[in-house]
Structure 1
Amino acid sequence: MKNKILVTGGAGYIGSHTCIALHQAGYDIVIYDNLSNSSREAINRVSKLIGESIEFIQGDIRDSELLKQVFTKYDFFGVIHFAGLKAVGESVAKPLMYYNNNVSGTITLLEVMTEYKVKNFIFSSSATVYGDPEMLPIDEKSPRSCTNPYGQSKLVVEHILEGLAVADSTWNLVTLRYFNPVGAHESGQIGEDPNDIPNNLMPYISQVAVGKLAKLSIFGNDYPTVDGTGVRDYIHVTDLAAGHVAALNYLEQQVLPVGFLPINLGSGKGSSVLELVTAFTEVTGQNIPYQFAPRRAGDIASCYASADKAQALLGWEAKLSITDMCQDTWRWQSMNPNGYQS
């Protein structure tokens, strides 16, 4: 019998790609999403790509009564928890909203899981928990600190998971710390569809390329990096999805619980903003006009992962290149100039 997985936030950017990977790996999925930052159309397209309809429940992770109904109806092997707000700037402006959704919502979900004895949990964390790193590459033992409420909400959840693992040794709490997810499904049918002006670099570039935005603002050109612009570890969303499948496969094979297990998902290489702009232009032939703007508060110069632990434990490594990321982003954006509203 296939193991059934609850995917919270499964209609979102990373969630939708992971649902395809889970289905291909033989898992049975149920999506739970309040659609506050995602689209029903994404689920429709995932259904078309996998060739069957997906169980979908529209609900909020803070709604314990609805969650209990879902856990009563289905016998889950585990939960992959993507549901959360994720815009750094918005988190600075609305910290209570972020703590309420990302922290309180996760506590509610964990309480329901405890009641129904579902103890396999894969958490969507972030490299932002490392703050401004003291050393590069960043491994899982690096000190953690945060420069904004979004990152802080992820770090608070990590502390909650650590405490839960100490209090109850039967839990498997895998915390996947993503670096910078970019790209789209090779079909061009699903991709990143931000509300309003994008917070992330690649959708900003692709919206300039498609004519939705006039030019790219590059925040800071005086960092101590190869060309003065910020350096980040970009990872294709398809590789990231495969990391979640690898984590689930790993949990299926364990005889003893793993407790709290943090794992970086990154390529292990850094690319600057200008290097990414240049690659996008070369791959797509689209000119990307840009201007330099002052540094943003809370931004750091360089950030890239050591992904050795993911390789050793999960047998996972990033396979797709910056070229793949640019090609797939442009295919999605040019086929869907207005995202899922196209």
Structure 2
Amino acid sequence: MKILVTGGLGFIGSHTVVELQNKGYDVVIVDDLSNASIEVLDGIESITGKLPDFVKLDLREVAGVQKLFSDYKDIEGVIHFAASKAVGESVEKPLMYYENNIVPLINILKELDKKEKSNFIFSSSCTVYGQAAVMPITEVAPIQVALSPYGNTKQIGEEIITDVTKVSNISAVLLRYFNPIGAHESALIGELPLGVPQNLVPFITQTAIGLRKELSVFGDDYDTPDGTCVRDYIHVVDLAKAHVAALDRLIKEENSDKVETFNIGTGKGSSVLEVIKAFEKVSNTKLPYKMVDRREGDITEAYASTTKANEVLGWKAELSLEDALASAWKWEEKVRNS
């Protein structure tokens, strides 16, 4: 069974490709390599013993997307990761984010709409909840006005998918991730952002390895136990397995609605300072950091209620914060020392 994974050489995409191939799926990866490296293909092949098909393509190009679906008529499902994903950058470059995150989605849905039946999994985000009033956040929590263009693109994406499924043969699952971190235990794939990292953990590991002078902690005056932001950090391998569970559900036609939504997290919140301390423990490294002003677009706290994913998808996060940080450090050391 052939599955198209857009953004499949990226951080979450590559780990999901591994889990798909481990489950026997044939995978076609599409990536424009704007924030990923072609060498990730080698890592995927080394882990799974199988090289997925790869197509270099900018999904904003209509003709290219049409050719892709013409070349691969037997695609049974699409997992759509391809998007720009940094909150801070989206505030600075809103037009880029609306173009990169909405146009490819529309182009893909247009092609899926032509098929008799299609299965679609959307890489969404807990940012759609904004600053939720109640913790942990359930799937029925109100969608708040987005605090960043990035968050808004995820809200708009969910709305587009919901509208399209009402009048098509597309069935969809919206996976609202919390904060993915870590790397594959083999250290053959992991998070390798181009340029300065926009996310906490790669900035931590790059600082610990000496690539960055020090880590900036954005705000120490939030209404949390230690004043720093609280997030739900999930191991990327656990997150990847959630995509396989969602895909299996769609293919077996076990879904109860045309669009289903699941939070994917651990159910536990950790502050920035707690993450730093946990990293120092697993790496036996002292991390230089400084407190700086808050960053626009950041919320105080967010962690998931995972009950629905646990009970309906039969999926549960199994790896700890320490597991994730240890794997991220192992990956960083391998990248820098190879």
TM-score, normalised by the number of residues in structure 1: 0.95
State the shift of 1:237 in Å: 0.1
Structure-2 change in CA distance of 1:94 and 1:118 (3 Å)? farther
Contact 1:137 1:306 in 2 (8 A): yes
What RMSD over aligned residues (CA atoms) do the two structures have, in Å?
Answer: 1.3
Aligned-pair identity (%): 48
Summarize the alignment of residues 140-155 of structure 1 with structure 2, pairs less than 5 Å apart. 140-145=139-144, 146-155=146-155
In 2: Cα distance, 1:30 partner to 1:118 partner: 18
Contact 1:243 1:316 in 2 (8 A): yes
In 2: Cα distance, 1:256 partner to 1:90 partner: 36
State the shift of 1:106 in Å: 0.4
Contact 1:171 1:257 in 2 (8 A): no
1:173 matched to 2:172? The reply is: yes
In 2: Cα distance, 1:96 partner to 1:295 partner: 23
In 2: Cα distance, 1:308 partner to 1:205 partner: 30
In 1: Cα distance, 2:92 partner to 2:222 partner: 25
Structure 2 partner of 1:73: 71
The count of residues paired between Structure 1 and Structure 2 equals 336
Which sits farther off after the overlay, 76-85 or 88-97?
Answer: 88-97
Contact 2:4 2:27 in 1 (8 A): yes
Contact 2:88 2:297 in 1 (8 A): no
1:316 matched to 2:315? The reply is: yes
Structure 2 partner of 1:47: 45
In 2: Cα distance, 1:230 partner to 1:318 partner: 22
In 1: Cα distance, 2:68 partner to 2:154 partner: 25
After TM superposition, where is structure 1 displaced by more than 3 Å over at least 4 residues in a row? Answer: none
Q: Which amino acid aligns with 2:270?
A: S
Structure 1 partner of 2:12: 14
Structure 1, unmatched stretches of 5+, are none
Structure 2 partner of 1:231: 230
Q: Which amino acid aligns with 1:210?
A: I
Structure 2, unmatched stretches of 5+, are none
In 1: Cα distance, 2:296 partner to 2:190 partner: 28
Structure 2 partner of 1:111: 110
Structure-2 change in CA distance of 1:6 and 1:257 (3 Å)? farther
State the shift of 1:52 in Å: 2.2
State the shift of 1:255 in Å: 5.7
* Paired residue secondary structure (2:28): strand
State the shift of 1:73 in Å: 2.4
Q: Which amino acid aligns with 1:259?
A: K
* Paired residue secondary structure (1:286): coil
In 2: Cα distance, 1:86 partner to 1:117 partner: 32
State the shift of 1:112 in Å: 1.1
1:64 to 62, 69, 72: 62
Structure 2 partner of 1:23: 21
Summarize the alignment of residues 248-259 of structure 1 with structure 2, pairs less than 5 Å apart. 248-254=247-253, 258-259=257-258
Structure 1 partner of 2:100: 101
State the shift of 1:118 in Å: 4.6
Q: Which amino acid aligns with 2:43?
A: R
1:212 matched to 2:217? The reply is: no
Contact 2:249 2:255 in 1 (8 A): no
Structure 1 partner of 2:127: 128
Q: Deviations over 1:159-183 (max 9, x none)?
A: 1111112233x32110000000000
State the shift of 1:25 in Å: 0.8
Structure 2 partner of 1:272: 271
Which sits farther off after the overlay, 8-17 or 57-66?
Answer: 57-66
In 2: Cα distance, 1:323 partner to 1:247 partner: 26
Structure 1 partner of 2:157: 157
Structure 2 partner of 1:189: 188
State the shift of 1:72 in Å: 2.1
In 2: Cα distance, 1:144 partner to 1:324 partner: 32
Structure 2 partner of 1:87: 86
In 2: Cα distance, 1:255 partner to 1:226 partner: 42
